[in-house]
A = this chain, B = another copy of it.
Amino acid sequence: MQTREPLTKDRVLHAALALADAEGIEGVTMRRIADELDVEAMSLYHHLPNKEAVLGGVVDLIFIEVAHEVGDVVGATPTDSVVELVETRRANWKAALRARILTARSVLLRHKWAPPLIESHVAISMEIAKYMDGVIGIMRAGGLSFDLIHHAMHALGGRAMGFVQELGDSDTSSADTEQLKQMAQLVPNLAAMLAEVVHDDPESTLGWCDDQFEFEFGLDIILDGLERAAAR
């Protein structure tokens, strides 16, 4: 008789993660997770206190993934002397922070259901704290004061973790030209902007913008502003 692999917290969390990737966050229910593990829903409660803990654990898995990829990116060159390393870090904090944030973003793009979950999740987990610590460390190495870093974290907001923070998803593009003409009466500026941006570049309506470009545009404005504030 086959003995079944025992249920563990880790198996539950990975099943939940896979479920979220496959069906979105609304597909993640205690009953569905249990189904996937060939177990009853109530068995999950022997390894996790409630659904909140499951979702928190899944968020942690994502930040472990981020930490993995970030580690590859910001690894110091071992041949540098310590002094050189410190010098380099001071000079390159903006580039280093930019790279780290874009790496985090690339991971979140693989789990698009995650940002709303992270935002709504009040409790800051250890894994999130460790990510934040890395961000703060880069700015500190760049010579920014803790006071400025604190403001910077607020200014960056979700962007510090690579959030896309889009409003009004790709459905706007489905507004046909007739509907747009009617709209023009009430929202002339919005209609004019859409008309021109669509005309200039057929792949860049509000519904199908170049998200990567827009994210970097906004990020660079903030990073440049912080650099200027640091120089003051």
Q: Which A residues are within 8 Å of any B CB, using their own CB?
A: 116, 118-120, 122-124, 126, 128-130, 132-134, 136-137, 140, 146-147, 149-151, 154-158, 161, 165-169, 171-172, 183, 186-190, 192-193, 196-197, 200, 204, 206, 209, 214-215, 217-218, 221-222, 224-226, 229
Contact = CB atoms under 8 A, between A and B. Distances in A.
A193 B124 contact: no
| For the complex of A and B, 6 pairs with smallest distance between CB atoms | A221-B225, A155-B218, A154-B214, A133-B187, A124-B168, A136-B189
Given A123-B171, A133-B190, A158-B165, 16 more contacts: A116-B119, A119-B119, A119-B165, A123-B168, A129-B183, A132-B190, A133-B188, A136-B189, A137-B188, A146-B192, A147-B200, A154-B217, A155-B217, A156-B218, A157-B167, A221-B225
B217 A140 contact: no
